[in-house]
Structure 1
C-alpha cells in the first residue's frame, strides 16, 4: 500500500458509537413514553410534562435517524478511502515497458 493512511480503528470506533446512538435514543423515548406524569400532581404540570416528553421523544427519534445516516456515511467514506488507496498504490507501481 501507500503512505496514504487513515486508521481503520477510527472508522470502527465512529461506526460503533453512532450505531448505538439510535438504540439508546429508542430506549430513552420508550422510557419517556411510559412515564406516569400524574405523579407530579397538578393537572397543568402533568400536561406540561407530557408535552415535554412528546417533544423530547420526537427529538430523540430525529437524533437516532441522523445517527443511522452518519453510519452509512462512515461506511461510504471507509469504502471510498480504501478504493482510493488501492488506486494510488497501483499508480505508484513502475510502468512496464512495451515491446
Structure 2
C-alpha cells in the first residue's frame, strides 16, 4: 500500500446515515399516505390536509431517491479511491524496481 490513506469507517458511517434517512423518509411517506384527514371535520380542511399529505409524500419520496443516490455515489467514491490507492502502490513498487 502507498501513503495515501482514507479511513473506511468514514464511508461506512456516511452510507449508514444516508440509508437511515432514506428508510425514515419512506416510513414518514407511508404514514402521511395512510393519514385519515376526515378527523379534522370540515370538508375544505379535509381537502387541504389531503393535498398537504400528497405534496409532502411526493417530496419525501424524492428526498429518499436522492439519499439512495448519495449512497451509490459514496460506494463509487470508495471503490475509486481503493483502485487509485492500489495503482499508486503499484507505481511506487515499479519505481523502486527501476532504481
TM-score (norm. length: structure 2): 0.91
Q: CA deviation at 1:42?
A: 1.3
* Equivalent residue, structure 2, for 1:95: 97
Deviations 1:40-97 (A, max 9, x none): 1211111111000000000010011111111111100000000000111111121246
Q: Are 2:80 and 1:83 aligned?
A: no
RMSD: 1.2
Unaligned runs of 5+ in 1: none
In the TM superposition, what are the counterparts of 1:24-43 in structure 2 within 5 Å? 24-43=24-43
Once residues 87 and 45 of structure 1 are traced to their aligned partners in structure 2, the CA distance between those partners, rounded to angstroms, is 62
Unaligned runs of 5+ in 2: none
In the TM superposition, what are the counterparts of 1:41-80 in structure 2 within 5 Å? 41-80=41-80
Higher normalized helix content (fraction of residues): 2
- Where does structure 1 differ by over 3 angstroms across 4 or more consecutive aligned residues? none
Aligned residues: 97
Once residues 92 and 51 of structure 2 are traced to their aligned partners in structure 1, the CA distance between those partners, rounded to angstroms, is 61
TM-score (norm. length: structure 1): 0.91
Once residues 40 and 23 of structure 1 are traced to their aligned partners in structure 2, the CA distance between those partners, rounded to angstroms, is 28
